[in-house]
Amino acid sequence: MAIFPLENPVQHYDWGSLNAMSELFGMANESGQPVAELWMGAHPKAPSIVLADDPVALNVLVDGQAAHLGQGSLAKFGQTLPFLFKVLAAARPLSIQSHPNKQQALAGFTNENHLGVPLDAFHRNYRDDNHKPELVYALTPFRAMNGFRPLAEMLALFKMVELKPLAEALCWLEEGNLKAFYEHLMNLKGAEKEGLVTEALSFAETSDHPAWQEVCRLNQFYPGDIGVLSPLLLNVIELTPGQAMFLKAGTLHAYLEGTALEIMACSDNVLRGGLTNKHVDVPELLKTIEFDTIALADLCLKPEQEENGETRFVAPVDDFLFSIIEPERACEPFEVRSAEILFCVEGRQAIRAGEQSIELTPGRACFVSAMTESYQLEGSGRLARAMSVL
Ligand SMILES: [Zn+2]
């Protein structure tokens, strides 16, 4: 057997949605708890289960196994599946965060090991030595903050009102020193910080500018948190269903609301900058942030149409490659170069390889082992394909 149906674990984080997964995929939510994420992959924290006569965790099946991962994947990415694939359903904002690049992750992980910080400690920043680039593909309208706005936009927003605790710091922004400005903001404490948030909110409540309205909205969830000012610094984007964006290492971002597919490198390294009850380490966060800016219009990935009928969203990393397939347009067999996970977004698809055939319905996924040379698709709807680049 080379294609395996999967049973995927659900994460009940408090920001999750009560009904998004049941509305999109007909998954019953018997627990009555928020359903935040569905994980598809071999992450030891919550691996998918391979449905066979003897069910087994996907990491147990594939880790270190050249037959399943492919020799090339073992050599390039190590012992396990290089990516983690998720469905993410946010009813309210997630924390503002940045992920380290590979060197930072290795240095941070080694250092915390050296200091004897337990891997599961509350204040542990680096849980592994890998980077965590992310790609998000919207299934419903999906709102997020991603990357610093162009400086002129930031200045215009901050200058709509006089915010006394920032009066001097704004000159850094005028000089183009975003790092100094952001550091100043993140290091405000006590009465100064409270004063700033209070001043900002009293203006936000009167403003009809979308960025300032977002400040009000964030404050409903995290009253008084300095992170509520983030919409003034960061692009606020709404992806329409079928649009995708990439989040590179060192990009400050936060998912706000909506349901999406998310694919990332296999890592758990998150440095937070507010809107959270979890650990926030400002100096370490500042070390990882890239202080460059990006225009809203440049955030979306341009879909690339392949001859075999798939639509690729190419991100500048090798850990994962994400595409969407509409089986009715796919005529040729799909060649397998590395281990894959296929997820049925809508409709119904049969995946055939040799004698084997597996049917997927919305919300269901399968693992395609690297020993599969190629497979053919029949059916209709939309299938999401996740693999890595060798
Ligand atoms: Zn993230």
Distance (angstroms) between ligand 1 centre and the Cα of 357 equals 35
What is the sign, positive or negative, of the torsion defined by CA atoms of 110, 62, 373, 52? negative
Distance (angstroms) between ligand 1 centre and the Cα of 351 equals 31
User: Pick the catalytic residue: 124, 272, 364, 385?
Assistant: 272
364 tagged catalytic = no
Please report the pLDDT score of residue 382 as a whole number: 96
- In this structure, whether the domain defined by 152-233 belongs to CATH 1.10.1040.10 is answered with no
pTM for this one? 0.95
The length of the chain in residues reads: 390
Q: Within its chain, how far is the Cα of 22 from the centroid? A: 21
Distances from the Cα of 263 to the Cαs of 21, 39, 210, 267, in angstroms? 17, 10, 29, 11
Domains 8-47+82-145+237-295 and 152-233 agree in fold: no
* Residue 267's pLDDT band (cuts 50, 70, 90): confident
* DSSP letter, residue 23: H
Distance (angstroms) between ligand 1 centre and the Cα of 108 equals 17
Among 88, 29, 99, 108, CA closest to 266: 99
pLDDT of 1 strictly over 80 = no
Distance (angstroms) between ligand 1 centre and the Cα of 245 equals 12
Dump pLDDT digits (tens) for 7-58: 999 999 999 999 999 999 998 888 889 999 999 999 988 999 999 889 999 9
CA 138 – CA 232 distance, rounded (Å): 23
CA 193 – CA 102 distance, rounded (Å): 33
Dump pLDDT digits (tens) for 274-289: 898 888 899 999 999 9
Please report the pLDDT score of residue 132 as a whole number: 94
Distance (angstroms) between ligand 1 centre and the Cα of 254 equals 7
Among 237, 219, 217, CA closest to 149: 237
Please report the pLDDT score of residue 332 as a whole number: 84
Domain 8-47+82-145+237-295, CATH number (from 1.10.540.10, 2.30.30.190, 3.50.50.60, 2.60.120.10)? 2.60.120.10
CA 283 – CA 59 distance, rounded (Å): 35
Question: Domain spans of the chain?
Answer: 8-47+82-145+237-295, 152-233
* DSSP letter, residue 293: B
Distance (angstroms) between ligand 1 centre and the Cα of 329 equals 33
The vertex-34 CA angle with 4 and 322, nearest 5°, equals 40
Distance (angstroms) between ligand 1 centre and the Cα of 48 equals 21
Distance (angstroms) between ligand 1 centre and the Cα of 281 equals 16
* Residue 308's pLDDT band (cuts 50, 70, 90): confident
